[in-house]
Amino acid sequence: MNVLFSVRGRINRLTFWEGLLAFFFLNLGAVMIEVTLFAVDWLGNLLVSVFNDTNHVLYQYFSLTVIFLHCLVASWILLAICAKRWHDLDRPGWTAVINILPILMLGYGCLSFVSSVDRIMIHRYVVDTRFNPVEVKTDAVATYLRLDPGLWHFFLAAAVVVAAFVYLGFFEGAKGANQYGKTAA
């Protein structure tokens, strides 16, 4: 547990990959819980429409709170694992932000892409009565590649994430003790 939550100390490459694997499975479990909450939320919407249930709004706030807490805990775990690995490479732990900011940029790029597809689909539906979703999505991708800066955020963020994880996962740590602790076992 110290590997997942503490930002102090050093970890070697093997422990880094094990920590990322644990991070992946913890996130997978959390996402399964969130999908279950959304399924219940969907059923709740059905109950609201059929039985006029007003308590459903509280459940929606609960679902959003669970997702928010998951994001906070997942971000902290990723920061902790990466900070300790940066320490092993004799770099300051705050450099782990390099691993988090691009992920936020990836999210922005994805949201930007989805919103541009929706804008073009709505525009085509309103302007043109012969609505063809496949043609519209093709137009949306072409337009997005030309105009939307979110795409370039997406590619830049992906390149930074890949480079950082290659560096953290494959480069050997500093030999001997450094300012962050003894050599990682």
Whether 184 maps to a domain, the answer reads no
pLDDT above 50 for 38? yes
Judgement on whether residues 50 and 101 belong to the same structural domain of the protein: no
Domain end among 59, 88, 117? 88
Judgement on whether residues 100 and 52 belong to the same structural domain of the protein: no
What is the C-alpha separation between 87 and 68, in angstroms, rounded? 28
Judgement on whether residues 124 and 166 belong to the same structural domain of the protein: yes
Domain end among 56, 88, 120? 88
| Containing structural domain, residue 150 | 92-178
CA distances for 55 relative to 41, 48, 62, 64, angstroms? 11, 9, 11, 15
Whether 183 maps to a domain, the answer reads no
Domain end among 57, 88, 119? 88
How far does CA 82 lie from the centroid of its chain?
15
The three-state secondary structure class of 57 is helix
Over residues 117-141, mean pLDDT: 49
Over residues 33-59, mean pLDDT: 64
Judgement on whether residues 53 and 115 belong to the same structural domain of the protein: no
Task: Kindly report, residue by residue over 56-108, the tens digit of the pLDDT.
Answer: 566 667 777 787 788 788 889 988 999 999 999 999 988 888 777 766 665 66
Judgement on whether residues 76 and 100 belong to the same structural domain of the protein: no
Number of domains the chain contains? 2
Whether 108 maps to a domain, the answer reads yes
Instruction: Kindly indicate the confidence band of residue 149, based on its pLDDT and cuts at 50, 70 and 90.
Output: low
Judgement on whether residues 101 and 124 belong to the same structural domain of the protein: yes
Residues in CB range of 110: below 8 A, 6 or more apart: 154
